Amino acid sequence: MDLKPPQMHTTVPPLSLVETAFLSSAAGLIWLVSYYLSLSPWMRIFFPTPIALVYLRWGGRAAWMAALVTSLLLSVLMGPYLSLLFFIPYGLLGVQLGALWKRGAPWGVSIGLGTLISTLSFFFRIWLLSIFLGEDIWLYLTNRIADFVDWMTAILVSWGILGIGAYGRPDLTLVQLLTLGAVILSDLVYLFTVHLGAWVLLSRLGNPIPDPPEWVQILLEEES
């Protein structure tokens, strides 16, 4: 009787699974390196890009999987709190931007929705930090801003730049509205830089995003 050894059947993982795992690791590595090397101001424009690239190549299910896998990986390496700070907003932004870019949405739409997600995520972080510290961080922050404005006003009055009528603590509601406006403006600029970086990078990877508005292209041509 001829006994043959059992045949081993090896299956090659599908390309979508391999790329999703690779880009999830890349997103986690960018976050990890930027956090420990204090490079967040320079690298944060690339935080949502790997997940958006997964959406462009393999669709929404793979993008959500990439966002969750990256968060789980960071939860093991850095703890659940920092992992959550990645998922909200950068994981959500990656899925949102990828979905809109894949559908050819104009920059105004994707930047607007991305700004909304980023602003809501900012207040989610404030709320989460307030729970951990047992104090209303938003109220504390705006009170400190009001104190700073009051201090600056006193200095300008003492220098004679402002009149004596400028004395007085600024209205806290007005300070909160101005702070909210500053947060929205900051998120708007951030999303614009994310779009610029993705427009340059992803087109070279064969997954271009919609072209920027004409005035942006004119400015870039003048700079070059």
Quick one: pLDDT at residue 6? 53
What angle do the packed helices 172-204 and 107-133 form, to 10 degrees? 130
Domain with 76, as residue range(s), is 15-223
- Asked if 118 contacts 89 with a C-beta cutoff of 8 angstroms, the reply is yes
Specify if 182 maps to a domain: yes
Specify if 1 maps to a domain: no
Specify if 217 maps to a domain: yes
CATH number assigned to the domain comprising residue 173: 1.10.1760
Specify if 94 maps to a domain: yes
Residue 142, CB-side half-sphere exposure with 13 Å CA sphere = 18
Quick one: pLDDT at residue 179? 93
Quick one: pLDDT at residue 165? 63
Specify if 8 maps to a domain: no
Residue 165 DSSP code: G
Report the number of distinct structural domains present in the chain.
1
Specify if 7 maps to a domain: no
Quick one: pLDDT at residue 12? 47
Quick one: pLDDT at residue 222? 74
Quick one: pLDDT at residue 148? 85
Quick one: pLDDT at residue 1? 47
pTM of the model: 0.87
Specify if 80 maps to a domain: yes
Q: Mean pLDDT of successive 10-residue segments in the chain (224 residues)?
A: 51 78 94 84 89 95 95 93 93 97 96 97 94 91 87 77 68 90 96 95 92 87 70
Specify if 9 maps to a domain: no
Quick one: pLDDT at residue 7? 54
